[in-house]
Amino acid sequence: MGLLEDKVLLVNGGSQGVGAGVVRAAVQEGATVVFTGRRADVGEKLAADTGAHFVRADLADPAQARDSVVRTVNAHGRIDCLVNAAGLTSRGSLLDTTPELFDQHIAINLRAPFFAMQAAVADMTARQAPGTIVNIGSNCAHGGPPDLAPYSAAKAGLAGLTRNAAHAHRWDRIRINDLNIGWTDTEGEDATQRAFHGAQDDWREQAAAALPMGKLGQVDEIAGFVVFLLSDRSGVMTGSVIDCDQIVFGGQG
């Protein structure tokens, strides 16, 4: 049996990048998977490739974030696991971030996970059933570079939300953890590097050469760890904010 056999999983932001990696890994581990995304063409292709069910949603709208859970429950009778993987990484510093950009980051990186968790936990507690949630955070929760000020603020908030919700619902046997990932090799990161940093086709090779492990974070490796956190193999672990990166925060020299 797979690690997620007979589990119903919703992956918000699952049509590409880390979220898509989680969809693929969870299907292989036996889960019934629903995932959301904004682009129908990308989502429908992944659904066809994996057998997962695609729901088109704009998670910037809190009603659609909640509805993603409702639609999962309506289709499958329950939700056992939730992954919040959607992320916005557009650049902005303390000095040049507009209120509109700030609100966009809060909407996707913090508000959407909040209301998806709210709906998922409501279903779990109503059934008096255990569940697991994994939030995809970022090492920027520790501070982040100057051009990621609103992103860092939102991801720090997500780490705090994870701990708060895990503490509040530990007696409901709902385990909630946060995985702070670092620089990761995704389609979205490729677009970001080209749009904001003038990167050329060899940017991955240049980045890898400057990193301790000689590579960026890999989607399949992160997805495998997320599946572990969702599964019973992670035991009683809850309220943890885990740095899944090759930067050692607090290290010197």
Reduce the secondary structure of 132-144 to three states and give it as a string.
EEEEEEEHHHHCC
| 131-138/81-84 β-pairing | parallel
Residue closest to 134 by CA, chosen among 169, 162, 171, 172: 162
Contact 152, 87 (CB under 8 A): no
Residue closest to 189 by CA, chosen among 88, 82, 114: 88
Contacts of 119 (CB under 8 A, 6+ apart): 65, 66, 68, 69, 70
Which two structure tokens, joined as six digits, stand for 129? 């059933």
- What is the distance of C-alpha 192 from the center of its chain? 17
Which two structure tokens, joined as six digits, stand for 65? 């974030």
Of how many residues is the chain composed? 253
Q: Provide the 8-state DSSP code for 131.
A: E
Q: Distance (Å, rounded) from C-alpha 207 to C-alpha 4?
A: 34
Catalytic residues: 151
Strand partners, 82: 10, 133
Tell the residue number behind the tokens 């936990």, with chain if given: 121
